[in-house]
Structure formats: structure tokens, C-alpha cells
Amino acid sequence: MKKTKYLIIGNSVSGVNCVEGIRQVDKKGKISIVSDEGVYNYSRPLISYYLGGRIEKSGMPFRDEGFYGENGAELFLNARAEKIDALKKNVTANGGAIEFEKLLIATGGRPFVPRIEGIDSAKEGVFTFTKLSDAEAIIKYIENESIKNAVVLGGGLIGLKCAEGLIERSIKTVIVELADRLLPNTLDKTASGIIEEALEKKECGLIKEETVSAIESRGGRVEGVRLKPGGKTLKTNLFVIAIGVSPDIDIAKAAGIKHGRGITVDSRMRTNFEYIYAAGDVAEGRDSLLGSNAVIAIWPVAAMQGRVAGINMAGGSAVYDGMFPMNAVDIAGVPVVSFGITNPPDTGEYEVLEKKGDGFYKKIVLKNNIISGCIFLGKIERSGIFSGIIRDRMDVTSFKKELLSEDFGLLVLPKEYRKHMVVGEGIEV
């Protein structure tokens, strides 16, 4: 049986940051990483740009190949972790066992695939879109089969970025979304409407308030998808399921590790076993706005959680204070930034400030004069300031009238807070 001091399951941003966190404290302890993928590492948000031909595969890694050797980390590629024995402190991967002293579970999320009639018969032309290998498979299929059109199920961030990549390959694309707007969990109707207009200008088809009920195929090859409730059939040879991801917790559940939607962790990223940690899209860490644990599947959260876990695994002391949902993305040439709660419940507790102009939209959501969330579309240059204001739960009463102003900036904020933002730990400006 192989032995290691630190074992990490997963080689994306959480796993890599965990290595760096460990090395802050322990310069020599053996680190082993098990990854079910065949590449050293890559930035997952870039797979749509790779699909669209905007970047080469060589431009996707966020740490170079030498990172592992420089940090004394042994990397096992194409090695899927199959079982965790939490009591005996070992992990089975590709039939062999690795004994550990400390373990990080950073298995991330897996694509959610709904039950669709005919999906088992469709062997060619059906894809998901969460990994580099997905993008590579789609590109190969497009080129080998001379694909001209596609249907993407899902109008969330994954679906939109996939559609954008396909459009850049001159694939006539239709997005099917069950909700009444695109990005329903991130944007409101006004912001979504602007994104929809931008996509339509790129000749992207949009079908809302419907979903795919069946896949039609011949000889195992997709020929179309049937919608419901309308019953219309869309002819296509390429169908991408991109309706979201769910935490990949099966291996943790089987090991008796406490979980909800994701793996339950404390402020040090520990599970109910003090020597087992979790981080990233698989973990339920603290949501600083809700004041409770939640899965926040975004890159900055995964990076921070991985580093905190690594420091604590190595005997240091670090605390994850929590973060909140945030997204910064460009869709169809429209830059969008959103933070926190953007679609507040109609309970009378929230105040909403809005401003819309030529090519831009701003929305601020407040509760008791404290910002709970915001949307910036088109003009996003100063949106980063709001991330700090939300994080610090700052009362904005004294400058609330300035929040939507074109001139809003650091000088509007109280002097003592400006000083904190400029010289404090973690500069935000």
C-alpha cells in the first residue's frame, strides 16, 4: 500500500491551492494528488473559449507543469478515486490503495443529466459541457460529422458559454430554457432581456419556458429533440445538456462523511472526521450573506477554501469566513457582473435601486440600508468596489443617493473605509 502524508482527490483550483496552503506551513511532507482527468490542470472557465477557437489548449493551464515537482507533489492522472475508508485512512484509486494522514476531497461538481426519453439510444451527438474533455469531444464531433446546427439545453451560465463557443464555430445554435428568462439564478428580467437581444443579434435561437422531453435518433445518432409542453421537434445532430452541476459527493456519502447538498465543513474546511477536509464545488462552506452553509460553485470560493484547507491540514491556522455568490462574465459581447442576492423575495424587506441607459444597466438590492446584491451590465468598471461593501456589511445610508451615479467611486465612501480598502489585507482596488 502506498503511503502519503497529504492526499488530495481532485486537481482543479481547490486541489492546487491546497498544495500551496500546505507548503506555506510544511515544506517537506509528502503530497499526493489523484485526478480522474488526463491533464495537469486547466482553467475550467476557459473551456468555452477553447470550444470557440479563441484560445489554444496550451493557454488553459493556471499553473505550469513544473508546479508539481517544485512543490514535491506526486500527481496521478487518469486515476479515479473509487472508495474512501475514513476509519482506516486510505483511498482506493484504480484498484490500488493509498494510505493518508490528512485528506482533502475536492471532487468538484458533475453535470446534472435529467431523464430524457431516448437518451440511452442516442450514442452519438449527445454531450455535457463541464470539462476540457467535453469541449474536445464536441470539437472532434463537429469536425468529423460536419455539424452545422446544435441545440443547447440550459440557459444558465454553462449553457450560454457553450452556445457562445458553438456560435463562434459558425454553428447555428438554439438555446432551450425552462425558466422565463436566461440566467434565471443570476440576473433579473431586465438584465436577461439585454443578454437575449445580444444573442439574437448573433442569430442564436432562444426558446424559453420549455424543455426537452425526448431525443430522436437513428442508428444511435441524434437527429432531433422534442420539446414540452409545446411538442415541437427541433432537427439537430448535436445536442448539449448544460443545465447545471451537482456536488460529486457519492464517494464521501459512502464513507459516512456528513453532507447536505454538498459535504458539510466547518470554518477550517474540516468534515466530521477531523483529518478529512473538503473544498470547492463539492463543499458546503459558509455563505456570508445567508449566514449559513451553502454550495457556492465559483472559482474564487474554491481557491480560498482549498488554501484554507491546506494550511490547516499542515498544522497551521486559517479560517474561512465565508463568501457569497458572484459572477463576472462576458456573453455575446456584453460584460456582466453580479454579486449576492439579485432577485430578492417580494416581502417588503428589500429596497431596489435601478438605472438603465444606452448599453448599460445597474441594480442595487438593499436590506436595512445594507447592500445584499447588485447587477452591473455594460458598464462594470467600478463594480469591484461593491464586492467589498457587501462583504463588510457596510451601512450605505450616508451615500445611498450616490450608488447609481456615474461618478460613484472610492471618494464617496467614508474616509476610514477608503483607508482600509487601499492599505488593508487583500487590496480590492
Q: The domain 2-40+62-110+246-313 is classified under which CATH number: 3.30.70.20, 3.10.20.30, 3.50.50.60, 3.40.50.800?
A: 3.50.50.60
Average pLDDT, the chain: 93
CATH topology assigned to domain 126-243: FAD/NAD(P)-binding domain (3.50.50)
Cα–Cα distance between 368 and 21 in angstroms, integer? 38
Give residue limits of the domains in the chain. 2-40+62-110+246-313, 126-243, 333-423
Per-residue cell: 13:
483550483
Peptide bond into 111 cis (omega under 30): no
Closest CA to 206 of 151, 245, 169: 151
CB atoms within 10 A of CB 340: 22
pLDDT band at 425 (very low <50, low <70, confident <90, very high): very low
- Could you tell me if 351 and 360 are in contact, meaning their C-beta atoms sit under 8 angstroms apart? no
Could you give the percent of the chain with pLDDT greater than 70? 95
Helix (H) or strand (E) holding 286: strand 283-287
CB atoms within 10 A of CB 155: 27
pLDDT at 428: 37
Q: Is 202 helix (H, G, I), strand (E, B) or coil?
A: coil
Domain 333-423 is in which class? alpha beta
Half-sphere exposure for 428 (CA within 13 Å, toward CB): 20
Q: How far is CA 97 from CA 16, 57, 254, 341, 379, in A?
A: 22, 32, 16, 44, 52
Q: Do domains 2-40+62-110+246-313 and 126-243 have the same CATH topology?
A: yes
Cα–Cα distance between 98 and 362 in angstroms, integer? 52
pLDDT at 74: 96
pLDDT digits (tens, 9 = 90+) for 324-376: 989 999 999 999 999 999 999 888 899 999 999 988 999 999 999 999 999 99
pLDDT at 20: 98
| Cell 451560465, residue located | 157
